[in-house]
């Protein structure tokens, strides 16, 4: 196991540090202090290596990337309808940064901050923990709180991501995720991928992607990934996905993956485990024309070249009590876990 640290760029007067976690079998995870970002996931590919997530070489590219590739998202992932909610019989309004709604915590969310960090190294694991204090005066969410996000790579080729909120000054919200995009192949498309998701239904949304409160059965729809099937035909049939799938409770109860993504050409596979009740899948159907990702070796990014898989509590949960509890109590410690196993 090994950890490397280097300054790679400055944003204003702040240095952005890249931290590389390496295991004994050639797997590398690169992270950035800016956005507590998962920049790359490089795995052995014969005599070479391939990067199976989207990330930018230049930190400045993250400033113009609306896709939030590999970045930590919070305080609340997804959309809050109308950018308003009630908490303790009090109404709150946060930043409306997309069509009158709040998306991914607003313009001062986790992905826009440069985090402090610390590292830890043992014989079987390498980890980096990013730390930040959130202030109500900055992001308009109720209360101040501390957040830690820890990435741990093991010699079992497993990456664990732990989100921890604590020291809340008053009742607040905490529904973080990582906005990682996967492509397990050497292509700039998903045509060789298969997908399985432990979900029987998904959230219905309106034209602005705000949940209506209804769940739709996946049966007979492109959304039916209960058994492994080819991903690309479903993407085409549905004209892309930006969908919150509700995870079956039995997946959590029995320690099963909530999703398995596989490249059938190279046999590269990722199993995703999570304690969250939803997986948001987004196939980046409409993207700017000026994006460049490291794995594309200088080629312009293409729509639908990767799939975002964001484990979280169902979006807009604060306005739908039945979606799950995303509140954090004063001085409560709240932890969420995500694990990815590469084969």
Q: Catalytic amino acids?
A: 179, 310
φ/ψ of residue 237, rounded to 5: -65, -35
* Among 304, 65, 320, 72, residue whose Cα is nearest residue 205: 320
DSSP state string for 191-241: TTEEEEE-EEEEEEE-TTS-EEEEEEE-TTSTT--SS-EEHHHHHHHTTS-
First-to-last CA distance in the chain? 18
* Among 257, 255, 253, 243, residue whose Cα is nearest residue 201: 243
- CA count, 13 A, side-chain hemisphere, 125: 13
Query: What is the three-class DSSP state of 320?
Result: coil
Alpha-carbon distance of 150 to 197, in angstroms, equals 25
Burial class (CB in 10 A: 0-12, 13-18, 19+), 123: exposed
* Among 71, 64, 58, residue whose Cα is nearest residue 111: 71
Longest dimension (CA), the chain: 60
Q: Which residue has the tokens 């004994």?
A: 24
Q: Helical H runs in the chain?
A: 59-62, 136-139, 231-237, 249-253
């Amino acid at each position: 196991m090994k950890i490397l640290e280097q300054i790679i760029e400055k944003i204003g007067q702040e240095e952005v540090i890249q931290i590389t976690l390496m295991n004994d079998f050639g797997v590398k995870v690169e992270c950035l202090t800016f956005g507590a970002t998962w920049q790359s996931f490089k795995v052995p590919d014969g005599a070479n290596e391939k990067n199976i997530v989207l990330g930018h070489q230049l930190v400045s590219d993250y400033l113009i990337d609306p896709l939030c590739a590999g970045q930590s998202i919070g305080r609340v992932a997804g959309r809050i309808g109308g950018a308003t909610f009630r908490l303790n019989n009090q109404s709150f309004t946060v930043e409306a940064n997309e069509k009158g709604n709040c998306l991914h915590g607003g313009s001062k969310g986790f992905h826009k901050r440069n985090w402090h960090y610390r590292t830890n190294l043992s014989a079987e694991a390498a980890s980096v923990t990013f730390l930040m204090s959130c202030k109500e005066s900055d992001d308009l969410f109720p209360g101040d709180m501390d957040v830690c996000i820890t990435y741990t790579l093991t010699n079992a080729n497993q990456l664990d991501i732990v989100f921890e909120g604590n020291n809340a000054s008053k009742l607040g919200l905490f529904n973080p995720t990582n906005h990682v995009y996967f492509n397990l192949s050497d292509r700039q498309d998903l045509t060789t991928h298969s997908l399985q998701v432990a979900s029987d239904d998904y959230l219905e949304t309106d034209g602005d992607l705000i949940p209506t409160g209804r769940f739709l059965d996946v049966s007979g729809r492109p959304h039916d990934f209960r058994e492994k099937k080819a991903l690309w035909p479903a993407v085409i049939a549905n004209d892309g996905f930006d969908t919150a799938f509700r995870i079956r409770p039995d997946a959590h109860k029995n320690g099963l993956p909530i999703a398995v993504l596989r490249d059938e050409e190279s046999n590269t596979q990722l199993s995703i485990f999570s304690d969250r009740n939803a997986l948001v899948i987004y196939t980046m159907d409409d993207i700017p024309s000026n994006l460049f990702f490291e794995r594309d070796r200088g080629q312009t990014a293409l729509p639908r070249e990767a799939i975002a898989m964001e484990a979280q509590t169902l979006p807009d949960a604060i306005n739908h009590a039945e979606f799950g509890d995303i509140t954090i109590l004063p001085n409560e410690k709240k932890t969420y876990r995500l694990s990815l196993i590469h084969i």
